[in-house]
Amino acid sequence: MMVRSLFSTGTHLNTSAGTWIWGRGACDDKAELIERLVTVETLLKHGFSPARTIVLAFGFDEEATGREVGRAS
């Protein structure tokens, strides 16, 4: 349960101050996303060449509508 009185700003308002960003979803799955990208980058730097095409797909609106997740651009 979220206790709104503990928040100095709105619970859905993303706010930035200098190098810090806070608000609902500010951390979310971003660490996992960066982890995956760094892993792929490291593999490529070490000469990894996959036998098949690898597609990395990431969504951004899973908590809003989900309509944009997986849509080809």
Neighbours of 21 (CB within 10 A): 13
Residue 5 CA to residue 17 CA, distance in Å, equals: 21
Q: What is the rounded average pLDDT of the residues 64-70?
A: 63
- Beta carbons within 8 Å of 40's beta carbon, 6+ residues apart: 54, 56
Per the model's pLDDT, the better-predicted residue between 20 and 44 turns out to be 44
Confidence at 35, pLDDT banded by 50, 70, 90 = very high
- Count, residues in the chain: 73
pLDDT at position 58, please?
A: 78
pLDDT digits (tens, 9 = 90+) for 39-65: 999 999 999 999 999 998 877 666 666
pTM listed for this prediction? 0.51
